Structure 1
């Protein structure tokens, strides 16, 4: 009789133990889900609209800080960090040399170029040569691009183009500067007739169409890359995001947003 009682108690204890394990197992994904902090150039804002959902379906969460490359680099130099950093390749290589990015973790994810954009449906202007581009710029009623003072790479570059073309003074009165990647939105809303930004940024804005890159040696291409911050507390979660970005799913999303393979 006593033996049966012990057997029954053991069975109850075993079942209770199994229940605890099942309960713990059910809570494991939530307990071990990581929050991955990302510092990313605004050029990838459109792509992350889709990629965030795809990545977070695996349980981890993304905390993304977008900014111009110059502004993010300034914050990193001041001591801010992230699990994953997405910037231009030269900037990431420099951060890797400084020990702020894990050695060997940097990978190219795509490239884009400084482009001209106009409202969807409007006649495409001919910017095939430097002289034709100058004529188009002089004829446009208004133009928008990133404020060079705020560190936007395309804005800094385009301001130099205007200087080179001798049009800086003539364009001032019809220029609408934006803090970041909003040039395409200004065009779509009709607040600027023409926008200058990375092709990937322009292509992602409904109501805006890309005319093309700047002609000849005025063309400027930028390669974007990703790396793991050296102080990341969860390099495995960071690596899984990089694998998404550099894999076929990430490549397809980036291409759909106007970014070419690196």
Structure 2
């Protein structure tokens, strides 16, 4: 009977023991639009998973040393990329990301800030936005997806490219709101989720609908990942209803897509 008891005890211990041998360190690099949401979501993910998430940051495009394209070109290894969907598609075509792993996480819109306490121009209409741009002595905008749209599409559409060439400049490797906060620009434009977390500025609103550019930000898994299952698990969490409240508080709109695997 005593032997039977100890045999049962050993069996029960083995059943109850949690196997963490599959835990992985997931290397994620994200562009700025999803950065704040990801920082808030990772602790929640790690509460429900043995996996650990290591976050790096870089812009979706451009040749800045810390941009995602530059870091991949230098041979840095990541498991998951989160960036503007058009740029992510480029990485799928180049073979850097696995085909069939794209998951759209959020939709992001553009907005503007001024230095805290400064007068807030009304940008709720196209005319108001144009006046704000023309009246600003200096304008800052992102060197990533939103800034490319401003300089190559919106400014020409509004007929103010010549004036903006004199007063507006791209910001590399830094948040636009940080430039405005220290007084190096009167007006700053970027994705709303990249503007809201920065102290020292006042958010003045989203661009009017006629000027707005909604950008999808998506996740994909790298072709050389050694943590495929863990990477999929993280993306499923980020795309789930569990992440909705945090995503919305960060100034983003959850996509809640169907998962392709």
> Cα distance, 1:242 vs. partner?
0.5
Query: 1:21-170 residue pairs with structure 2 within 5 A?
Result: 28-29=19-20, 31-57=21-47, 58-70=49-61, 71-76=67-72, 80-120=76-116, 122-146=118-142, 148=143, 152-160=144-152, 161-170=154-163
Moved more, 195-204 or 181-190: 181-190
Q: What is the aligned partner in structure 1 of residue 242 from structure 2? A: 249
Q: Distance in 2 between matches of 1:138 and 1:259?
A: 28
Moved more, 167-176 or 67-76: 167-176
Greater share of residues in helix: 1
> Cα distance, 1:81 vs. partner?
4.3
* Alpha carbons 1:114, 1:221 under 8 Å: kept: yes
TM-score, normalised relative to structure 1: 0.76
Q: Distance in 2 between matches of 1:174 and 1:213?
A: 21
* Alpha carbons 1:42, 1:181 under 8 Å: kept: no
How far does the alpha carbon of each residue in 1:107-135 deviate from its partner, in whole angstroms, 9 at most, with x for none? Answer: 11101122222245655422233332221
> Cα distance, 1:177 vs. partner?
4.4
> Cα distance, 1:245 vs. partner?
0.8
How far does the alpha carbon of each residue in 1:57-84 deviate from its partner, in whole angstroms, 9 at most, with x for none? Answer: 3332222221111132354466554211
Report whether the alignment pairs 1:223 with 2:200.
no
CA RMSD of aligned residues (A): 3.3
Equivalent pairs, count: 245
Q: Distance in 2 between matches of 1:248 and 1:157?
A: 30
Moved more, 230-239 or 117-126: 117-126
1:36 counterpart SS class: strand
Higher Rg of the two aligned structures:
1
Q: What is the aligned partner in structure 2 of residue 196 from structure 1? A: 189
Moved more, 191-200 or 88-97: 88-97
Q: What is the aligned partner in structure 2 of residue 5 from structure 1? A: none
> Cα distance, 1:97 vs. partner?
4.1
How far does the alpha carbon of each residue in 1:213-243 deviate from its partner, in whole angstroms, 9 at most, with x for none? Answer: 3335432111011122222212121112112
Q: 1:221 to 1:180 in 2, by over 3 A?
A: farther
Q: Distance in 2 between matches of 1:90 and 1:156?
A: 12
Q: Distance in 1 between matches of 2:77 and 2:210?
A: 36
Unaligned ranges ≥5, structure 2: 62-66, 256-261
